[in-house]
A and B are shown apart, each in its own frame.
Chain A
Amino acid sequence: MTSRPQLIFLLAVFAVLAVVPFLGARYPVELATQVMIFSLFALSLNVLAGQTGNLSFGHAAFLSIGGYACAYFLTRLGWPLAVSMAGAVIMSAAAALIIGALCVRLNAIYFSMLTLAFSMLVWAVATKWRSITGGDDGFVGVDVPIYLTNPYSFFWFTLAVCALSVVALWILSASAMGHALVAIRENPTRASFLGMNVKRMRLAAFVIAGAFAGLAGCLLAMYVRGMYPQTAFWTQSGQVIIMVLLGGIHSFIGPIIGAAVLYLLEVITEQYTEYWSFVMGLILLAIVMAFPEGLVGIFSKLRAPRRS
């Protein structure tokens, strides 16, 4: 999952991001902020999908739980930012622990379908629990600390949170636990014979993925100044799967590239045509048919002949 070229790529990406606020225009700052949030969301899914081999169709549930929790803590309870963010992450992790405990008992498509079912349950709760979530209208008007109301400040804050998250996920991926998760992905039976508690490891991956998705949700709620039931809808889970597949499911940087490319494509395409969904369909088709290893896979293939 991790490699030296990928580390160099990550450093280069953060170097580019650090230059964005100095380009003299606000729009790239806004765009980069959005890309970073969705990259973190995609990275969190990859702990499950890429590293552990469990494709969740309901990952947006944790984005949503983190977002709503953050919005509620900041706005209704008036908690400080750090406490609210920590609370949102804990809420997402707790939800992931409960949902994951049931889901990790199943494999393959059954796992995926159960995650989808729980995700729609979260969506239904978000839609119905009007006193907490605002129902269909959503949780509108999140109180963001005054020092983060400036888009440039929020950009730096998001960059810092995402950088720390990337470092944490990188360490996890390169650790013994990360290698154990890959072993479970490749051959759960053999991993089990080697003494690994496969279900417990998969549950740990599920909780970690949920916690980071919740962190991304918290950033999203503060960025959009609201949280809405659509964030928990299955289409949001579908979109993040496409991001991961587009970038490359078996690499660390794949989800970051996938999220950035898909989001930028969506934003740019949408300025010229209303048929963005058509473009998305074509992208998905191209990935499945021609590039199963995503954009990172293309780079790898281009590099391979030169080596030989």
Chain B
Amino acid sequence: MRAVGIARVCAAIAGAISLAAPARAEDTIKIGVILPISGGAAYVGQGIGDGVRLAVDQINAVGGIKGRKLEILLRDEMLRPDASVAAAKELITKDGVKFIIGPATSATSLAVSELAKTEHIVNISPSAKTEAITGSKLHEYIFQLAPTTDVDGVRSVGVLNKIGAKSVCFTGFDYAYTQDWFKAIKANMGAIQNAGEFLVPLNTTDYSTVIGQLIASSCDTVVGTMYGGGFIAFVKQAAPFGLFKTKKLLWGANTGDYAVAKALGPDFPEGVWAAASDIWYYEGSDAHAKYQAALAQLQGRKETDMWPITGYNAVNFLAAAIEKAGSDDPKAVRDALEGLTIDSPLGPLTVDAKTHRANSPEFYGQVNSVAGSPVKRMSPYELVK
């Protein structure tokens, strides 16, 4: 009986392994997509995923690439680098994926990029901004589409000069993005005075101390990075103290996105300067209008998110590179991506051949109430390239 029991256990183990055995190969071009689709950043992953789906649907609708359709294999990065690497290994070794889009965040992106380097897999990072991805950790197979924090820093100084900032104080969650972005701003802000840095631990919920410090500071402009629920809590706690009436604010962390405006509703402070990868109300080109119409249909609402454009551009870069390379060999696609230009909804976008960066344009603007809009939005705004 004991032998039978052991045999059953062995059979169970073998069964588990066979469940994970390679799937039947099909004549599609498989794209591994690793995004946060659960947890606190799920809306980011769902947004980028929508962009990926839209681009893949559009390409497949016209016959795919040289007759081969694109197939999305979506995995959850869980905001964990080890889980992201495990998902990437599964996609590569079980499904034979040669191209990976994602993950979305900096730490997970760096982890998967490292795997792409050793596995010789093309990895396009659509949204992560850390400079390290294509800076100190640059390799042949990684491509970064989002503007890096050093580019964000230069663009932000442009906004600070535009709004007439004379003295700036910095606040935000104490983590890599904040530190890198602030460092880039400080390196480029010239005559603008640095009035001090008031950071709070990541995901703090009580901002009373830092709000007091900001109000007491001599700065005329506050540059901040709290995001998500943290930004909402900060705004609700700072408003009664009149922070938004006494200081100008420039906020990073994609505060100009529809999701933030919708979450805060009428509480979103008027006059905050913010940034977003995309805005549904941009009317600068027919290509953007066409893209927005298709996205609105996919998302079921006119007020679309900013994240889909990052996934949309990633797929279109990949498709254009495969087309140009004439094959799905990762090495050939990698070579094709270097220096490649696509027509994105926001105009021509090029991956620099040396740095592997596209530094996608972003919108900067002042969030205000606009007649006819259900939520506050950036007005005026400009597309910064």
Interface residues of A in 218-271 (CB under 8 A from B): 220, 224-226, 228-231, 260, 264, 267-268, 270-271
Which residues of A from 134 to 155 have beta carbons under 8 Å from B?
A: 135-138, 140-141, 149, 151
B71-90 near A? 1/0 per residue, CB < 8 Å: 00001101111100111011
B1 contacts A by Cβ under 8 Å: yes
**Any chain B CB within 8 A of the CB of A82?**
no
Which of A7-15, A171-179, A185-193 lies at the interface with chain B? A7-15
Tell me the complex Cα distance, A276–B80, Å: 14
Q: Cβ of B9 and Cβ of A135 under 8 Å apart? A: no
B28: Cβ under 8 A from any A Cβ: no
User: Which residues in B have their C-beta under 8 angstroms from that of A138?
Assistant: 81, 107, 110-111
Asked whether A137 and B130 contact (CB < 8 A) given A230-B107, A268-B19, A306-B1, the answer is yes
B106 within 8 Å of A by Cβ? yes
Chain A residues with CB under 8 A of B137: 140-141
Contact across chains for A276 and B9 when beta carbons are under 8 A apart: no
CB of A226 within 8 A of CB of B111, answer: yes
Q: How many residues of B contact A (CB 8 A)?
A: 48
Contacts known (A27-B94, A140-B111, A268-B20); A127 close to B175, Cβ less than 8 A: yes
When chains A and B are docked, how far (Å) is the Cα of A141 from the Cα of B111? 8
Contact of B90 among A30, A220, A226 (CB under 8 A): A30
Q: Does B21 contact A (CB under 8 A)?
A: yes
CB of B6 within 8 A of CB of A225, answer: no
Q: How far is the CA of A28 from the CA of B93 in the complex (A)?
A: 9
Indicate if B114 sits at the interface (CB-CB under 8 A).
yes
B110 proximity list for chain A (CB < 8 A): 137-138, 140, 226
Which residues of B sit under 8 angstroms from A135, Cβ to Cβ? 175-176, 179
Closest Cβ neighbor of B173 among chain A residues: A136
Residue of A nearest to B130 (CB): A137
Residues of A within 8 A of B39 (CB): 277
Identify which of A18-26, A93-101, A162-170 touches chain B.
A18-26
CA distance in complex: A23, B202 (Å): 46
CB-contacts of B221-249 with A (<8 A): none
Contact of A270 among B76, B82, B177 (CB under 8 A): B76
Contact string, B85-109, partner A, CB cutoff 8 A, digits 1/0? Answer: 1110110011000000000001100
Contact A141 B114 (CB under 8 A): yes
Contact B132 A140 (CB under 8 A): yes
Interfacial chain A residues near B118, Cβ < 8 Å: 149, 225
Q: A16-B14, A267-B86 in contact; A224/B81 too (CB < 8 A)?
A: yes
- What is A's interface to B at a CB cutoff of 8 Å? 5, 8-9, 12-13, 15-16, 20, 23, 25-32, 34, 127-128, 130, 135-138, 140-141, 149, 151, 220, 224-226, 228-231, 260, 264, 267-268, 270-271, 274-277, 299, 303, 306
Binding site for A on B (CB under 8 A): 1-2, 5-6, 9-10, 13-14, 16-17, 19-22, 37-39, 75-76, 78-82, 85-87, 89-90, 93-94, 106-107, 110-111, 113-115, 118, 130, 132, 137, 174-177, 179, 202
7 A-B pairs with CB atoms under 8 Å apart are A5-B2, A9-B6, A25-B22, A27-B20, A127-B175, A226-B85, A270-B87
Further pairs besides A136-B177, A230-B80, A271-B75: 5, Cβ < 8 Å: A28-B20, A31-B20, A130-B176, A274-B76, A277-B39
